[in-house]
């Protein structure tokens, strides 16, 4: 247990949202304002975009290298998103959690389903855009994608939004600060759930000469 009373093993959080919702920006801010929270770096077979760096934004690998990793079970989850392969390295996530850090995966709804299916303990957060129109404006405004790609992302978003039903928390990103604050509150509250606090609480009980209940 660390000095602030956290159990030694970190918790796993999954964040999903339709493309263009701003989840990456939100989570990048989140890890800056929540201590001991880190984002797992995914592997992808897609080409790096201008300004993206290998080992920082993603681990960029060839499709063949990605498929070899799939074959040897190196991924906790992986998915084909818009024709490119993305995955979370099992060893990466596990070693971060073993080091006591809480880990957040920013992954699509298919990947989230796979992590859920493993039965490992996790909390999931779905970020919704304020409306379809706002999402469309954001996708057009960022000027990254062709008309075709934007239409594809909007179609995928239409298919994905109903997935919020499967998540523990739902946050609407209409204001970046408010969204980060809501997510920070979720993480901090999850850290003090009774079952997470048991070891720390029992140590305190001992100072009273009171035996733990369980």
Residues in a beta bridge with 58: 54
* CB-based contact 24:180 (threshold 8 Å): no
Residues 6+ positions from 176 with CB-CB distance below 8 Å: 22, 25, 26, 29
Question: How far is C-alpha 172 from the geometric centre of its chain's CA atoms?
Answer: 16
Could you say whether residue 21 binds ligand 5GP (CB under 6 A)?
no
106 binds ligand 5GP, rule: CB under 6 A: yes
Which one of residues 77, 97, 135, 182 is an interface residue with ligand 5GP (CB under 6 A)? 77
148 CA to centre of own chain: 27
The nearer residue to ligand 5GP, 76 or 182, going by C-beta atoms, is: 76
Q: Is 87 in the site for ligand 5GP (CB under 6 A)?
A: yes
Q: Please state the closest distance from residue 114 (CB atom) to ligand 5GP, in A.
A: 8
The gap between the terminal CA atoms of the chain, to the nearest Å, is 18
Q: What are the tokens at 168?
A: 């523990």
Size of the site for ligand 5GP (CB under 6 A): 14
- Candidates 12, 22, 37, 42: give the one binding ligand 5GP (CB under 6 A): 42
| Residue 79 within binding range of ligand 5GP, rule CB under 6 A | yes
- Residues of the shown chain interacting with ligand 5GP in the complex, contacts defined by CB under 6 A: 19, 42, 46, 77, 79, 81, 86-88, 106-108, 110-111
């Amino acid at each position: 247990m660390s000095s602030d009373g956290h159990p030694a093993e970190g918790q796993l959080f999954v964040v999903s949202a339709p493309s263009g919702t701003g989840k990456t920006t939100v989570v990048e801010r989140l890890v800056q304002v929540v201590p001991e929270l880190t984002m797992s770096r995914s592997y992808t077979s897609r080409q790096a975009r201008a300004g993206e760096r290998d080992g920082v934004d993603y681990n960029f690998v060839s499709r063949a290298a990605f498929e070899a990793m799939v074959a040897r079970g190196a991924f906790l989850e992986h998915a084909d998103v818009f024709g490119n392969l993305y995955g979370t390295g099992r060893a990466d996530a596990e070693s971060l959690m073993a080091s006591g850090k809480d880990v957040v995966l920013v992954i699509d709804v298919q990947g989230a389903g796979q992590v859920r299916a493993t039965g490992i303990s996790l909390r999931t957060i779905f970020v919704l855009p304020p409306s379809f129109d706002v999402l469309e404006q954001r996708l057009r405004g960022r000027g990254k994608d062709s008309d075709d790609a934007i239409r594809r992302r909007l179609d995928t978003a239409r298919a994905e939004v109903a997935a919020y039903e499967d998540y523990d928390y739902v946050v609407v990103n209409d204001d970046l600060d408010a969204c980060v604050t809501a997510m920070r509150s979720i993480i901090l509250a999850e850290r003090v759930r009774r079952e997470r606090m048991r070891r720390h609480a029992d140590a305190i009980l001992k100072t009273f000469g009171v035996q733990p209940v369980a």
